[in-house]
Structure formats: C-alpha cells, structure tokens
C-alpha cells in the first residue's frame, strides 16, 4: 500500500505529564488537565514564562511563551506548577518504549513528538494508530494525537487536527477537503513573517497558496515560496531519520539572577558556561574552531561577537579565555541580564595542531579535565567544582552562581514535591 508514516504528538505534554504524575504517584485528586492550569518558570529568578497550559486555560487567552505575570492577570485563579525536566525525560522514554513495539524506524522529533515509519508494519494503519493511542492512555495515563499519512509533512499536519486523544488521516486524496480550507498559517514552515507576506498577496488559506503560480511566490519569497507551495500540495520526500545528525555547534546560555554590572562577575558566569560547553564537546569527541558570546542587556537589547581560534579546542580554560576576550571587546557597560557562549566550526578528527609557543599544555590540561568529567559523571555534577564558585555560595550578598551554568537550570531538573501543594 505504499509508504506509511505516523506522527505521534503528546497532548499538552509538560502539563499532562505533571498531571498524571500527581494523580498516580503523589496521591493527588485534582486532574490539572481539567482546570485552568499551566507549567511556568519562577518569576523571581527571571525566567517566569508559561511553558505549557491546559485546555481550560485557553478560554482566558493564556498563551505559551507569555510571562507568568501576564497569565495571572488574565486568570487570577490559574494553578501554576513548576517545570520538572527529569519527569519529562522519563515520560518521553516510556512513550518511546511503547512505540518501539511497532517499528524500529523512529525519529524523535522533540521530547514529546516522534515520526514512525510504519511502511510494511501494518495492513490497517488507522487501526494500528488507534491501538497505539489507546495503549498510551491506558498504560501511561496521558493522551496523544496520531497523524497517519504517506509522508512526514502530511502526518504532522494530520496530528494537529482536532485534539486531544484522536487519530486523523491525511492521505493525498484528502488534501482538498481536510487541508486546503485551513488558514495558511497552519501550514508547516509558514511562520509569522511568511504569513504576513502571503496575506499581502491575498493568500489566506492553504488552498489559495496551492493555487498560486510558483513563479510569483519565488519572486516574492524566493526558494522558501517554492517550498511552502510544495507543502501546500502535500509534497515531501524527507526520510524518517533514526539517528540524529552530528551537532554543528555547541552552546549554552543563562539568565543572571540580577543585573550584572561588574566585569569580573560576568566573566565568572562565562566560566560556568564554558564548563558545560567544553564538557559537551569532550563527551562527543569534538573540538570548536569558533567561539562566540552573546549579551542581552537590561533593556533586552541583544549583541554578539565571535572569533576564530588559532587551534580548535575542547578545553574549558581556552574557551573561557576566548569568551573573556570577546566580552572585553563587546560589552558597553550596560547592566547585563543574559549571557551565552556558542561554538562553531566543529571538527571531530581528534587532531590537535600544536604551536611553538603554547600557552597551555594541552595534553596535561585535557587529562585533568577528563578526570573531572569522570568524577562528575560518577558522583554527580557538584562533586568537583572550581574554588571561585564556592565563594558565591558562602559570601553574603553575592549572587549564587551554578558552577555548571546554562542548559536546563537546576531548579527545572527536578521538583521537591514536599514543598508543593499537591491537590
């Protein structure tokens, strides 16, 4: 029957996973999915945004990505729960375990989405999709939408139809009835900027986009216009990629607990970022040839600066040294609220081109940093840390600095439920 692709999408993933955990593991009686509720960050730590929301919260106009303060103004009785990425990771893995019962050709698109290549795996794809949906609900407690089609694009479009806990098909013959009447902004890869351009052309539905002459779209939107015209016709031959591609760059960023005005303090935050970025490089056997930093000031104005390294590296000390040099060249003196380190020109050949006047004994330093990596892996990230970070934990009035900064912040990795009011 040709190619068959499923797209699995967890309904309100973070909120659903939290609701199920509270109901089945913490003895809760209130299902967060049935009341206005949301997963949100900590406003006091300056990343207080809505990460996920329940369906009942939609009627108040609450949007993912808005601040907790804005959401509370819309719905004062909104129940807020903290993010718990450790729980999300476990829930995602439990879902993947079920999906592997049906095929080994799985592409993890995000923590709560996956594509399955079901070609040759089922004679009745829609029946199998319902079986997967029912198993997830009965065995794991949360719900998913399943989109069924002949390619990834149409399967993903199908899974976005009516929610929650539904199976939808979108075969090529169903495109005129099911997809073309939809708003053009619902089409995959049509973002806000593209939607504005299409509106200016009088295109408001996917069907109107499909009816356009491709040459006109190319004139206005270049190659992107041709791509979305193909998508409007349901054309997509991208494979289900079971192995993620190698990373082309590594980076981390953090929001500072207060506006930073002292250069030495900013550089200490950069050191914490260099620790995590370099550890990721070493873990993947990669070296970075380019280092860049980003600064967002208290006015939320973003600036960035980068440099090419003389020799690609995976050492914390060398990445931090480059970051500090870039910081001195970039910073204007305005108070800082966000810092980032990013790397590029990544190589994996394992070769280090030595120079005549090396500042660092690379082999000796790398052995030391590898030993630290091993200790942290075995005994925990806090088992070894630089002495300068201890001062931030003991000196009164000094901002607390996580010695392994960036990525998923420490308070989001798990939740102390003894401090939570589990209803």
- Cite the active site residues: 113
DSSP 265-323: HHHHHHHHHHHHHHHHHHHTT-BEEEEEEEEEETT--EEEEEEEEEEEE--HHHHHHHH
CB 283 within 8 A of CB 373: yes
Cβ atoms < 10 Å from Cβ of 398: 12
358 phi/psi in degrees, rounded to 5: -70, 135
The closest alpha carbon to 3, from 137, 176, 121, belongs to: 121
CB 62 within 8 A of CB 53: yes
243 exposed, middle or buried (CB, 10 Å; 0-12, 13-18, 19+)?
Answer: exposed
98 exposed, middle or buried (CB, 10 Å; 0-12, 13-18, 19+)?
Answer: middle
DSSP 237-257: -----SSPPPPS--EEEEEEE
For the CA atoms of 215, 217, 222, 224, the dihedral, rounded to the nearest 10 degrees, stands at -120
């Amino acid at each position: 029957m040709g190619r068959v692709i499923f797209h699995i999408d967890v309904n309100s993933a973070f909120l659903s996973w939290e609701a199920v955990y509270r109901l089945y593991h913490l003895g809760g009686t209130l299902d967060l999915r049935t009341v206005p509720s949301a997963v949100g960050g900590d406003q006091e730590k300056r990343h207080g945004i809505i990460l996920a929301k329940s369906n009942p919260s939609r009627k108040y106009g609450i949007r993912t990505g808005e601040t907790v303060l804005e959401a509370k103004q819309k719905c004062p009785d909104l129940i807020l729960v903290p993010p718990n990425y450790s729980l999300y990771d476990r829930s995602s893995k439990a879902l993947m375990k079920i999906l592997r019962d049906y095929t080994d050709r799985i592409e993890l698109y995000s923590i709560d989405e996956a594509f399955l290549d079901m070609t040759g795996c089922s004679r009745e794809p829609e029946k199998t999709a319902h079986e997967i949906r029912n198993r997830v609900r009965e065995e794991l407690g949360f719900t998913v939408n399943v989109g069924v089609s002949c390619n990834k694009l149409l399967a993903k479009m199908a899974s976005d139809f009516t929610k929650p806990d539904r199976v939808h098909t979108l075969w090529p013959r169903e495109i005129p009835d099911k997809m073309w009447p939809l708003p053009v902004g619902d089409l995959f890869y049509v973002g806000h900027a593209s939607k504005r351009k299409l509106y200016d052309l009088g295109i408001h539905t996917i069907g109107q986009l499909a009816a356009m002459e491709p040459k006109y779209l190319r004139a206005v939107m270049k190659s992107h216009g041709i791509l979305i015209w193909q998508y409007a016709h349901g054309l997509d031959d991208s494979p289900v990629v079971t192995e993620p591609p190698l990373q082309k760059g590594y980076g981390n960023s953090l929001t500072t607990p207060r506006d930073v005005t002292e250069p030495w303090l900013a550089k200490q935050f950069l050191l914490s970022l260099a620790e995590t970025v370099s550890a990721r490089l070493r873990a993947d056997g990669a070296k970075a040839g380019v280092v860049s930093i980003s600064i967002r000031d208290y006015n939320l104005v973003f600036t960035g600066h980068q440099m090419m390294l003389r020799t690609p590296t995976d050492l914390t000390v060398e990445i931090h040294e480059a970051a500090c040099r870039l910081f001195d060249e970039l910073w204007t003196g305005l108070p800082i609220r966000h810092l980032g380190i990013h790397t590029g020109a990544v190589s994996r050949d394992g070769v280090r081109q030595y120079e005549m006047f090396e500042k660092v004994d690379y082999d000796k330093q790398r052995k030391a940093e590898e030993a630290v990596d091993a200790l942290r892996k075995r005994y925990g990230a806090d088992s070894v840390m630089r002495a300068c970070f201890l001062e931030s934990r003991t000196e009164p009035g000094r901002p607390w600095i996580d010695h392994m900064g960036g990525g998923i912040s420490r308070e989001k990795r798990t939740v102390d439920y003894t401090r939570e009011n589990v209803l």
